[in-house]
Structure 1
Amino acid sequence: MPIQTEHEPRLQKGLKTRHISMLALGGVIGAGLFVGSSAVIATAGPGAFITYAITGIIVALIMRMLGEMASAQPMTGSFVAYARMAYGNVAGFATGWLYWYFWVIVVGFEAVVGGQIINGWLPGIPVWVIALGLLVIMTALNMLSVESFGEAEYWFAGIKIVAIVVFLAIALAYVFGAVPESTASFGNLTEHGGFFPHGVATLFTGVVVVIFSMTGVEVATIAAAESAEPDRNIRRAVNTVMVRIMVFFVLSTFLIVVAQPWNTIVAGQSPFVATLEKIGIPGAGTILTAVILVAVLSVLNAGLYTSSRLLFVLSENGEAPKWITNVNRRGVPVWGVLASTLVGYGCVVIAALWPDTVFLFLINSSGAVFLFVYLMICASQLKLRGHWEREGLLKFRMWGHPWLPLAVTGIIVAVLVSMAMDPKTQVSLLQSVIALAFILLTYPLVGMRKASRRRLDVEPAVDG
């Protein structure tokens, strides 16, 4: 029973295979890796690379489940559409609005981070002015065409990948003694408090931190629906997830903790910069800061694209204003882009006026949202698998069904429970639950609005 949606033919199939491939390759590389890895190393010690490997396997399995569904039924709404198909309109409504909320907050946050980076080079320009300027540029880029989005992301991702590959080449040479006067030692894995200096449990508590840095891998499955060969592009994106995570996250973290004692890494400061400076690479800080800025712009670009497509899908289902379904002659949902951008502008203003209250609440309240989305991806795959198998639609299968999907579902629940028990993450989880509760409470209002619209559509026909 293939389900055709009205909106899909109206969006351009302007993304090329190389756009999807590069989005899949580089989409996962962000400030969470370049800077956030310092907090993981500080928590887990030299074994941090194992934490990245564990989390990478979890994320790769979630992507495999999503890939199975997206390959069977490529849709612009991706997991939002599958949640609706599996569990009804309320599930699609909640998943769509939650994920939209997550991305528009991220867009505002990344604009502020980009403003702070550039402000470090140009201190005469206020952060909020720079942030607004970045949002205007990214909005204009997304308004041009879906191909413009893809081309920008292609180059953003390319720069990030080149930076990681160069870092890996230099770090490998340093670790294996090809660099003169290298002080790297595999003894750094055990000589400073042991391989698990804070206990084996930190390997798993670190998963909560690491999984946040891997968000965005699922964007490729949303974008693939606007390409000429969605099936092929989805399979390729999903099949390369594990390799990308193992190389970009696991190998780079391993080399960092071998190159220097783990306890010299300062939380909040880029361990990549620290490693390159230890090796003696001139200008390492400036170069990596520029790469981090590219990563920020990449997230801005992907965030505006993703949030606008989610609004488009919600609007087609009568769960967002109808005018959002309007597209320009290039097939871009311009009102969806603008509506998402407006929230970003609002976040920038809020960050300037109330950085430690309202803005902090917004950031915290989006913290666990994507975990709820991951949970729904697992639940949807478990529900839809049997139906699509009977219909002969499965072209790409999740391994070990149903036991492996059930295990991943249990792990996500365990991560949420660990957040509830950790004082550092309790606030974020609570505020994310509040955001979910608010969205669910608005659903009856949307239901009444949809019912009223149906009555208006039917009444003229009856009168006639």
Structure 2
Amino acid sequence: MKDEIAHGEAFPSEKYEDAQALEDDIATGHNGEQGLQRNLKARHLAMISLGGTIGTGLFLASGGSIAEGGPGSSQVAYCLIGTMVYCFMSSLGEMATYLPISGSLNAYGTRFFDPALGFTLGWTYWLSWSVTLATELVASSVIISYWIPLETCPGWVWAVVFIVVLTALNLVSVKAFGETEYWLSLIKVLAVAIFIVVGFLYLGGAVGAPNPVPKPGPEIFKMEPFKGGFAALFSIFLNAGFSFQGAELVGIAAGETKNPRKNVPRAIRQVFWRIIMFYVLTILIIGMCIPHDDEALANSDGDIKSSPFTRVFTNAGISVGADIMNAVILIAILSAGNSGLYASSRALHTLAKEGNAPRFFGYVNRHGVPVWCVLATSLVGCLAFIISLPQVGQGAAYDWLLSISSTTGFISWLGIAFCHIRFRMAYKAQGRSIKDLPFVSKLYPFGPIYTLIVCLVILFGQGYFAFSAEKIEVKAVLSAYVTLPFVLILYFGNKFWAKTKILRLVDVDLDTGRSTIDVTTSTEEPKSKAATWWRRAVGVLF
């Protein structure tokens, strides 16, 4: 046993007197030195993945999507992105179950294809979530202004407050992060579930005004369902993509999850059809309850009263809907910011361990927290301070940040699909049996190929509207494509600087560190006490 465990580079056996001591240390989430710890439970992982995709993209941007493209185009866009998310998550699940590594996205790029790809994916993913953190903090100041006007308290004050709170939560321990995210995500999920129920009651005439005009249902949906044509559909894809970002947190968190061989597949099987259900039903209800030509639906001024969720509650006769949804959206913002800070800090930590970032970012304290990575990401989140200042203007800066976050997110998904193809090719080239994988993606090879095609079409087609206008809109073109040259510079720049080479399939390392995972999963988690009735109910529903 001792010699087998020694193959795992993160668990040097010479630090232990016997194999049993090492096995006990791994089972408790430690590795004999200060490092990341496996303290996330199955319920944390499931709710992190589910709640990570429910944020301002759903609560606020969904109304703008319907206003721009109509309910039909919005339904098509969200369904397409939803099925693509399921495909790449199945791919990530296969790799993350076989080799659960914190910051797995860049680690897989380095191991399965080319160190330059790992470098590129790592820094792109870090930028994506760091910018997302900034966008969520900007949104927080807008939401708070519903209760406290900006004239009374400037938006940057709330940005400071929230970034201090989120940084503190991430600096305590990964268990504190998981527990906080679990409860925040649970509130969001319950809010969406209640919205779906209220929406169907309103559509059926059980609640709301006796004779609303226009009458909710087919009468509203048939009002130009595919407004704006093909160009509008493309513009919705970015909003839909931004809304779904966060699903890949399962793979990022796998390296700090207890018994990943069991819990990662469970999270994927239990979560993603529910994500698709939430989004598809939500867009359907909004599209059938609120006319697409409703001026308030676009939410151009950021007023919470024009949130589609709030509008449906108000139309259904729930007068306190605005206050309730305001609180829920604020929770969604904090949750998304919390997830963003966690994900980006782990990506930066992995970059440091691979030698692609300054070495001090590899430091982890005794609680398993990469302190300097968390602080560095928080500094990027401080961009929210600048763009929340009235002198700069929230709208334009927020749109740019949203575009960067969305496009870098699609690039990360591209990386997952490509790495899965390389993983399978290497696995086959080395004469291994697919039956030996702890979790097999049944969608291969269709899933990763479908993901690659959809992501590439969206990335290169998002500027179609700007080019199709009578006069080319330079600002729109730059907003759409500014990240693509950045990614190319990262890849080819690192390849030139570090003289990296594309790995041959037979040379791909499929074993290092894997034996330590086998030891971890061989130690079963102690059976928990009988769950209370409300925990069982939550488990069945979510």
With structure 2 as the length reference, what TM-score do the two structures score? Answer: 0.76
The 5 Å alignment of 1:148-227 reads 148-179=176-207, 181=210, 183=212, 184-193=215-224, 195-199=225-229, 202-203=232-233, 206-227=236-257
Match of 1:453 in 2: none
Structure 2 unmatched runs, 5+: 12-29, 300-305, 467-472, 500-542
Distance 1:405 1:442, change over 3 A: closer
Count of residue pairs brought into register by the alignment: 447
Match of 1:19 in 2: 44
Aligned residues of 2:88 and 2:447 also touching (Cα < 8 A)? no
Corresponding position: 1:418 with 2:461: yes
Tell me which protein shows more helix as a share of its residues. Answer: 1
Matched letter for residue 245 of structure 2: T
Distance 1:291 1:440, change over 3 A: same
Matched letter for residue 498 of structure 2: G
Compare 254-263 and 209-218 and name the one that shifted more.
254-263
SS in structure 1 at match of 2:438 = coil
Corresponding position: 1:35 with 2:60: yes
The 5 Å alignment of 1:115-126 reads 115-123=141-149, 124-126=152-154
1:94-129: CA deviations, max 9, x gaps?
000011011111112211221232233223222112
SS in structure 2 at match of 1:422 = helix
Corresponding position: 1:319 with 2:356: yes
CA distance in structure 2 between the aligned counterparts of 1:233 and 1:383, rounded to whole angstroms:
24
Structure 1 unmatched runs, 5+: 449-464
1:121-144: CA deviations, max 9, x gaps?
223222112101110111111100
Compare 152-161 and 410-419 and name the one that shifted more.
410-419
1:231-278: CA deviations, max 9, x gaps?
222212222344223321111221222224333262123111111111
Aligned residues of 1:145 and 1:330 also touching (Cα < 8 A)? yes
Alignment partner of 2:452 out of 404, 409, 432: 409
Alignment partner of 2:432 out of 388, 391, 396: 391
Alignment partner of 2:97 out of 46, 49, 71: 71
How far the C-alpha of 1:72 sits from its partner, in A, is 1.5
SS in structure 2 at match of 1:196 = coil
The 5 Å alignment of 1:42-81 reads 42-47=67-72, 48-81=74-107
CA distance in structure 2 between the aligned counterparts of 1:314 and 1:231, rounded to whole angstroms:
24
Corresponding position: 1:291 with 2:291: no
Alignment partner of 1:256 out of 286, 310, 326: 286
Alignment partner of 1:369 out of 402, 408, 414: 408
SS in structure 2 at match of 1:275 = helix
CA distance in structure 1 between the aligned counterparts of 2:181 and 2:86, rounded to whole angstroms:
21
1:372-404: CA deviations, max 9, x gaps?
111111111111113335434522222343244
Aligned residues of 2:155 and 2:388 also touching (Cα < 8 A)? no
Matched letter for residue 414 of structure 1: V
CA distance in structure 1 between the aligned counterparts of 2:197 and 2:405, rounded to whole angstroms:
36
Corresponding position: 1:429 with 2:468: no
Matched letter for residue 434 of structure 1: P
Matched letter for residue 116 of structure 1: V
CA distance in structure 2 between the aligned counterparts of 1:102 and 1:350, rounded to whole angstroms:
17
Aligned residues of 1:26 and 1:158 also touching (Cα < 8 A)? yes
1:315-358: CA deviations, max 9, x gaps?
00111111111111111111111111122124423543644787
Aligned residues of 1:17 and 1:227 also touching (Cα < 8 A)? yes
Runs of 4+ in 1 over 6 A off after TM superposition: 356-360
Aligned residues of 1:16 and 1:227 also touching (Cα < 8 A)? yes
SS in structure 2 at match of 1:368 = helix
CA distance in structure 1 between the aligned counterparts of 2:9 and 2:326, rounded to whole angstroms:
43
Aligned residues of 2:135 and 2:401 also touching (Cα < 8 A)? no
How far the C-alpha of 1:21 sits from its partner, in A, is 1.4
Match of 1:243 in 2: 273
How far the C-alpha of 1:299 sits from its partner, in A, is 1.0
Match of 1:266 in 2: 297
SS in structure 1 at match of 2:238 = helix
SS in structure 1 at match of 2:46 = helix
Aligned residues of 2:221 and 2:287 also touching (Cα < 8 A)? no
CA distance in structure 2 between the aligned counterparts of 1:190 and 1:348, rounded to whole angstroms:
40
Identity %: 34
Match of 2:504 in 1: none
Compare 145-154 and 432-441 and name the one that shifted more.
432-441
Distance 1:122 1:338, change over 3 A: same
CA distance in structure 2 between the aligned counterparts of 1:251 and 1:365, rounded to whole angstroms:
28
RMSD: 2.7
Alignment partner of 2:313 out of 276, 289, 293: 276
